[in-house]
Amino acid sequence: MEFSDLMPAIAGMTWKHLVMIGVGLTLIYLAIKKNYEPTLLLPMGFGAILANIPYSAVLTQEDSVIKGALDVFFDAGIATEVFPLLIFIAIGAMIDFSPLFQRPILLLFGAAAQFGIFVTMVLATLFGFSIFEAASIGIIGAADGPTSIIVANIMAPELLGPISVAAYSYMALVPIIQPPIIRLLTSKKERLMRMQSDTNKKVSKTTLVMFPILITVLAGLIAPSSLPLIGFLMFGNLIRECGVLNSLSKSAQNELANLVTLLLGITIASTMQAEQFVRLDTIFILGLGIFAFVFDTAGGVLFAKLMNLFLPEDKKVNPMVGACGISAFPMSARVIHGMGRKEDPPNYLLMPAISTNVGGQIGSVIVGGLILLLVPLFAG
Amino acid sequence: MNEAFMLALKISGIGLAGVFLFMTIFYFVIIGIDKLFPHEDDLKEKTHPQLNDTNNNNS
């Protein structure tokens, strides 16, 4: 009997497997020690270790008749898009859209701060990625994990692992990535700007119930491909706002979100196998993901500066708030509020920042839907 | 420039315009439904402004 028959896992271990186990340990370290998106990075890190022990039975092996558990989860939850869509229901149930009604114009930043997605998509094609791969890489900039997973799964399933890792890791790095970009693009005077917000404005229940329904119908009529994304988000929100499903709303916000996040994280790890992950492309994807994030932030800030040229004095927007147009909610809003208070302690930017951040959540989902519509349409 | 690059440029232009179009439509939806279904307090203020004045005077 040979050693490889007795200890196949040890005999089959390569340097690539060891690199991936190191990646898994790093993700677990970031989750526990740095508190970076622990709900996702910890399951992903542990899953990466599980998936990179040679002949691991959590993955389907060639000579086995039993399917590996991670492959079963993947086929059931990711390939079918069920897990990310369930996460959208949970997110929808968590979002309060009423801040948007205080100053609806801030919704436009949810569009401007998607700029980096498209710039990155163009850039990625110069690195030799196909248009489908480039679009999937660009969407990392949306700072929206479920949207990134859905787009990558449809357009470039072979890149799903690195794209998911990049999307969730960078979401956690918003407090590190955004402030230097914002400081670079704004003057001290601009950062000190105060914004008037109508915090006393109340929104009727009918309005809050009508909003998710109307948005779903309109989005569906214009871009039906966006319906799974926007529809499930708005369904979750309708459960929250209708007032007769409080128990379901709480379940969606807590139990559903927790359970699906747990399964999503560990299942994504099945795409982090050494042969697929340890490649030069992965480094490009991680780099381009940062680029998308930076340009999304810049897009929001510069759009605010542009808008200020046309807005009356009392309606001007602090350009820092434009950076909240990304989807990382509520982290981005908190970061901007913190930056505002650091410059000028009595300057409370939280409400406009939250409004913009909510707009960013809608914007990222719309961009996901548009990419799913436009790329196959033009690329054939 | 390769074909994918030109395609990406085209899709980016249309995509960015599309997001702005969506958001502009949603902006008008928000304005519209907020006007159509105002909060009860706002409605009272509009139909009985004197009530609000009285309250303010009393305080």
Q: What is the pLDDT of residues A138-167, one digit of tens each?
A: 999 888 889 999 999 999 999 998 998 888
Q: Do A378 and B10 touch (CB under 8 A)?
A: yes
- Two structure tokens written together for A57: 């039975």
The residue among A264, A46, A25 whose CA lies nearest residue A160 is A264
Which chain B residue has its CA at the smallest distance from A367's CA?
B19
Note the pLDDT of residue B59. 41
Does residue B13 lie within any of the structural domains? yes
What mean pLDDT do residues A82-97 have?
92
Q: Do A207 and B37 touch (CB under 8 A)?
A: yes
Chain B closest CA to A39's CA: distance in Å? 30
Where are the alpha helices (H) located in B2-48, listed in sequence order?
3-36, 40-47
**Per-residue model confidence as pLDDT tens digits over A22-65:** 999 999 999 999 888 888 889 999 999 999 999 888 998 887 78
The residue among A17, A284, A272 whose CA lies nearest residue A125 is A284
Which chain B residue has its CA at the smallest distance from A373's CA?
B15
Note the pLDDT of residue A65. 82
Q: Which distant-in-sequence residues (6+ apart) come within 8 Å of A54 by Cβ? A: A8, A9, A11, A12, A13, A14, A17
Least confident of A6-10, A15-19, A108-112, A319-323: A6-10
The residue among A78, A77, A364, A87 whose CA lies nearest residue A236 is A87
Q: How far apart are CA A313 and CA A335, in angstroms?
A: 25
Q: Which distant-in-sequence residues (6+ apart) come within 8 Å of A352 by Cβ? A: A103, A106, A195, A197, A317, A318, A321
Chain A closest CA to B13's CA: distance in Å? 8
Note the pLDDT of residue B1. 64
Domain tally for chain B? 1
**Per-residue model confidence as pLDDT tens digits over A311-331:** 998 889 999 999 999 988 888
**Per-residue model confidence as pLDDT tens digits over A272-281:** 889 888 889 9
What percentage of chain A carries pLDDT values higher than 70? 99
How many cross-chain Cβ pairs, A to B, lie less than 8 Å apart? 119
Residue with tokens 């909003």: A211
Are B26 and A215 within 8 A, CB to CB? yes
Note the pLDDT of residue B53. 52
Note the pLDDT of residue A299. 96
DSSP designation for B37: S
- Two structure tokens written together for A269: 């790890």
Does residue B32 lie within any of the structural domains? yes
Does residue B29 lie within any of the structural domains? yes
- CB interface of B with A, residues 1-59, below 8 Å: 2, 4-5, 7-12, 14-16, 18-27, 29-31, 33-34, 36-42
Does residue B10 lie within any of the structural domains? yes
A374: nearest CB among B15, B30, B36: B15
Which chain B residues are closer than 8 Å to A212 by Cβ? none
Which chain B residues are closer than 8 Å to A122 by Cβ? 5, 8-9, 12
**Per-residue model confidence as pLDDT tens digits over A36-45:** 888 888 999 9
What mean pLDDT do residues A231-243 have?
95
Does residue B21 lie within any of the structural domains? yes
Q: How far apart are CA A375 and CA A131, in angstroms?
A: 7
Does residue B50 lie within any of the structural domains? no
Rg (CA), chain B: 23
Which chain A residues are closer than 8 Å to B22 by Cβ? 111, 219, 222-223, 366, 370
Does residue B27 lie within any of the structural domains? yes
**Per-residue model confidence as pLDDT tens digits over B5-53:** 999 999 999 999 999 999 999 999 999 999 999 887 766 766 666 555 5
Q: Angle B38-B42-B44 (CA atoms, 0-180°, nearest 5)? A: 115
Does residue B48 lie within any of the structural domains? no
- Look up the ipTM and state it: 0.87
Q: Is the pLDDT of residue A118 over 90?
A: yes
Which residues span the domain enclosing B10?
6-37
Please state, rounded to an integer, the average pLDDT across all residues of chain A.
91
